[in-house]
């Protein structure tokens, strides 16, 4: 259906989710709504990314479906605009945090007297209190607990009731059942004490009050901690200035950035932010692009150079022409990539979601079995013991910790990667990148700077250089290949007038051809021209394998007659040798696959320290080589920049494209190196390693917490130590288990920064 009908993507803010089971439930519910073809829900970002058939989705259908399940969704703000969605998320997060704070404070105000009254017999120096007085105090406690349950903790009971009506269960169910049953049991004990053997049953209203108060405190602190995990996106949003200076007929006018249109001329003074993407038309300056590329050094900009919206002008006043505005800007595309990546799910999270969907029902069964066990085989007062243990099991179980263990860590890692100029399309990359043991590199535009220049024009005897260059440029004018661009630039420098070409044909990895003034012109490798019917031999061209070692040779034929050649040089990227040395030191196999000549390929490989080289490779050869490596058990990353690398980028376990790569390569890649620095490859592995370690810590902690906590709450150690866990302690443990996971995930901010500093300072 996606291939036939137009699909639109919208993002909605979802409230009321607490655990992985909630996420799975919301996703399943969304998929039942007519018109929706896919739905991806993130607990970390509290958003739902929905793909639907255009014109088939009624937002109110989403609202009703989600509301019936006990969750909230902002259907009026559903949008494909990142500004709308993120502003809505900011607002809703602030409102939720404020509401949790208010509910916690209300609960605390009523909880303190309930706790004091419940433990009044512990206070020293008080005379013996009559049973009737105790019953009065218990009655007061029951009444004081009602505002806690009915107002401050209302969300748990409403959510639990909605889940029950849907024949479902969630974390609200556990809290509502645990605290509600404790309160009901306590009321029965107070009103009908004669139903119980003397001294065997005691109320514990304080358990209900304290559990709800502590859970609210935990959720409030967690909500505050959540804000730190999304600070990368908010930082990127804040890069954009609100106003800009427009120049019309030499008159300056202040306008809002959202009023800027393509083609407008804008003025930027030192210290100001560049409002939109464009190219410099007047002046020169240095620009700080670190917030986009991750590179700390400023870049010099002169007339004709591109500038990126959101970057900072340092020392010169410039005028520039707006080329891209709104969501077409580089910064907007980065925000979109980061946002969608953070909403995606790594494979491990999908497995956890499935596990969590069974978690709550299992806990409820264990709670019932705990009560039955205590009631039938417990000591005197077994009913009281059974209720306490059953409530503790319900309250201590924490599906939240399991649900939060992965997405928060991945979300932070994706954000930190974007700060380093690494744009990652989905969370699976974070999970896989640390396992990369083989890196395949293209040559042109990857190991080299991607700014090749024609160093020599060598026409056949009797043919003017200008004619050779004009014909070749007329064919290459529409090419995205770096070498083609170099030939066109050479013609532009000589101000040659190009000729319209028709019947354009591109053979990736070999060359291009077109009809120019009725003649068939081909530009590419000697093999490409030879296979097309050119009769000349390599010797007659005057070029052998020793000519201009390290440079790329490009040949031209006209109607299958040899016309001449170009020598093209492309400097090696700065720092490439150091990066490759570090990768090899980390036991990563590094090799080069290129369509270029062996002599040129080996010359570049020697400069950067690569021993294994495969030259004269077609795009299909690159794919086959990557596949063979994978079949041998290697986890392969392919790094390239051209259209001819797209297939290999897709085949690799992790496809990495340079920032100035062709559109086809960018679409095929999992990761984009915005800074065009190969340093990003090593940083990607380090970020992945640290993030995966953090996820494992979170999952281990959440798993151990539940595996140990539930049996302890059930009272398995009572026969040995004579101690039974109080529901209040169980509630405190549950409240702070998820907070611990979020706090540990937030450690990634500093651990990634410090880890990368150590890697590159050592």
Active-site residue set: 442
Under DSSP, the state recorded for 190 is: H
Cβ within 8 Å of residue 326, ≥6 positions away: 258, 332
Three-state DSSP at 124 gives: coil
Strand partners, 49: 11, 40
Cβ neighbours of 587 (radius 10 Å):
7
Handedness of CA 420, 423, 427, 430 (dihedral sign): negative
- Cβ burial 63-83 (10 Å sphere, 16+ → b, else e): bebbeebbbbbbbebbbeebe
CB 182 within 8 Å of CB 142: no
CA of 189: how far to CAs of 71, 197, 204, in Å?
35, 11, 10
How far is the CA of 567 from the CAs of 455, 522, 554, 716, in angstroms? Answer: 6, 16, 7, 80
Degrees to nearest 5, angle at CA 352 with 163 and 68: 20
Q: Could you tell me how far CA 314 lies from the centroid of its own chain?
A: 31
Q: CA-to-CA distance for 73 and 668, rounded, in angstroms? A: 33
Q: Are strands 519-524 and 511-516 parallel, antiparallel or unpaired?
A: antiparallel
Distance of CA 479 to the CA centre of its chain: 32
Cα–Cα distance, 431 to 454 (Å, whole number): 42
Q: How far apart are CA 171 and CA 394, in angstroms?
A: 9
The answer to whether the CB of 61 falls within 8 A of the CB of 34 is yes
- Burial class of residue 104 (count of CB atoms within 10 Å of its CB; 0-12, 13-18, 19+): buried
CA–CA dist 338, 231 (Å, integer): 12
Phi and psi at residue 745, in whole multiples of 5°? -65, -40
Q: How many residues does the chain have?
A: 762
Measured CA to CA in angstroms, residue 561 lies from 488, 512, 568 at distances of 22, 16, 21
Helix (H) or strand (E) holding 76: none
In angstroms, rounded to a whole number, what is the distance separating the alpha carbons of residues 262 and 279?
A: 11
In this structure, what token pair is assigned to residue 67?
């509301």
Chain position carrying tokens 């007061």: 140
What tokens were used for 404? 């939060």
Neighbours of 182 (CB within 10 A): 27
- Count CA within 13 A, CB hemisphere, residue 739: 17
61 SS3 class = helix
Rg (alpha carbons) of the chain, rounded to whole number: 33
C-alpha distances (whole Å) from 23 to each of 42, 113, 695 are 7, 37, 18
Alpha carbon distance 343, 330 (integer Å): 20
Taking alpha carbons only, the member of 44, 46, 92, 66 closest to residue 403 is 44
What is the b/e burial string over 149-164, where b = at least 16 CB atoms within 10 angstroms of the residue's CB? Answer: beebbebbbebbebbb
Locate all alpha helices (DSSP H) within 659-726, ordered by sequence: 663-668, 679-714, 718-721
Phi-psi region of 419 (alpha: psi -120 to 50; beta: other; left: phi over 0): alpha
The three-state secondary structure class of 524 is strand
Dig out the tokens for 481 from the structure: 């290949």
């Amino acid at each position: 259906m996606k291939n036939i009908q137009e699909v639109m993507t919208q993002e909605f803010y979802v409230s009321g989710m607490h655990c992985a089971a909630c996420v799975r439930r919301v996703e399943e519910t969304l998929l039942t709504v007519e018109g929706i073809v896919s739905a991806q829900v993130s607990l970390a970002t509290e958003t739902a990314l929905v793909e639907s058939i255009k014109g088939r989705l009624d937002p109110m259908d989403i609202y009703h479906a989600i509301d019936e399940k006990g969750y909230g969704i902002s259907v009026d703000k559903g949008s494909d605009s990142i500004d709308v969605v993120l502003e809505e998320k900011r607002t809703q997060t602030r409102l939720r945090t404020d509401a949790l704070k208010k509910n916690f404070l209300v609960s605390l105000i009523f909880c303190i007297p309930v706790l004091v009254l419940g433990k009044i017999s512990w206070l020293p120096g008080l005379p013996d209190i009559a049973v009737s007085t105790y019953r009065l105090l218990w009655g007061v406690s029951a009444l004081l607990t009602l505002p806690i349950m009915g107002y401050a903790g209302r969300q748990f009971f409403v959510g639990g009731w909605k889940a029950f009506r849907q024949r479902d269960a969630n974390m609200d169910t556990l809290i509502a059942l645990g605290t509600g049953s404790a309160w009901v049991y306590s009321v029965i004990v107070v009103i009908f004490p004669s139903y119980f053997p003397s001294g065997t049953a005691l109320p514990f209203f304080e358990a209900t009050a304290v559990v709800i108060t502590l859970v609210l405190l935990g959720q409030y602190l967690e909500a505050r901690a959540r804000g730190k995990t999304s600070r990368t996106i908010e930082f990127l949003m804040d890069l954009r200035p609100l106003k800009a200076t427009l120049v019309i007929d030499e008159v300056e006018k202040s306008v809002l950035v959202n009023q800027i249109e393509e083609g407008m001329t804008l003025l930027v003074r030192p210290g100001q932010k560049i409002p939109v993407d464009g190219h410099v038309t007047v002046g020169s300056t240095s620009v700080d692009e670190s917030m986009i590329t991750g590179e700390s050094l400023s870049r010099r900009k002169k007339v004709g150079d591109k500038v990126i919206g959101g970057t900072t002008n340092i020392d010169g006043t410039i005028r520039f022409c707006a080329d891209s505005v709104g969501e077409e800007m580089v910064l907007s595309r980065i925000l979109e990539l980061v946002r969608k990546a953070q909403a995606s799910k790594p494979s491990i999270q999908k497995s956890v979601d499935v596990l969590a969907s069974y978690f709550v029902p299992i806990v409820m069964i264990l709670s019932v079995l705990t009560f039955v066990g205590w009631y039938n085989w417990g000591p005197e007062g077994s009913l009281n013991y059974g209720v306490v243990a059953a409530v503790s099991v319900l309250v201590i179980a924490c599906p939240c910790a399991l649900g939060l263990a992965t997405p928060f860590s991945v979300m932070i890692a994706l954000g930190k990667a974007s700060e380093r100029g690494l744009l990652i399309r989905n969370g699976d990359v974070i999970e896989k990148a640390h396992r990369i043991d083989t890196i395949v590199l293209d040559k042109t535009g990857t190991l080299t700077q991607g700014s090749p220049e024609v160093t020599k024009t060598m026409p056949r005897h009797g043919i003017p250089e200008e004619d050779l260059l004009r014909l070749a440029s007329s064919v290459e004018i529409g090419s995205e290949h770096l070498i083609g661009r170099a030939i066109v630039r050479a013609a532009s420098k000589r101000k040659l007038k190009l000729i319209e070409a028709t019947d354009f044909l591109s053979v990736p990895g070999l060359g291009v051809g077109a009809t120019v003034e009725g003649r068939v012109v081909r530009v590419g490798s000697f093999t490409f021209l030879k296979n097309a019917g050119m009769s000349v031999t390599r010797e007659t061209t005057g070029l052998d394998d020793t000519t201009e070692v390290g440079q790329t040779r490009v040949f031209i034929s006209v109607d299958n007659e040899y016309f001449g050649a170009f020598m093209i040089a492309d400097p090696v990227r700065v720092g490439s040798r150091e990066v490759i040395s570090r990768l090899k030191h980390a036991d990563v196999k590094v090799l080069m696959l290129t369509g270029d000549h062996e002599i040129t390929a080996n010359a570049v490989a020697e400069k950067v320290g690569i021993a294994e080289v495969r030259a004269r490779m077609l795009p299909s050869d690159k794919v086959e080589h990557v596949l063979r490596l994978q079949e041998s058990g290697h986890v392969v990353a392919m790094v390239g920049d051209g259209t001819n690398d797209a297939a290999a980028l897709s085949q690799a376990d992790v496809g990495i494209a340079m920032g100035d790569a062709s559109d086809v390569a960018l679409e095929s890649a999992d990761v984009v190196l915005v800074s065009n620095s190969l340093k990003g490859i090593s940083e990607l592995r380090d970020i992945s390693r640290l993030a995966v370690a953090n996820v494992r810590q979170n999952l281990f902690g959440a798993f151990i917490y539940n595996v140990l906590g539930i049996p302890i709450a059930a009272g398995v150690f009572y026969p040995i130590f004579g101690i039974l866990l109080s529901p209040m302690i169980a509630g405190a443990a549950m409240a702070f288990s998820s907070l611990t996971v979020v706090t540990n995930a937030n450690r990634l901010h500093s651990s990634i920064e410090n880890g990368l500093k150590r890697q590159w300072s050592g």
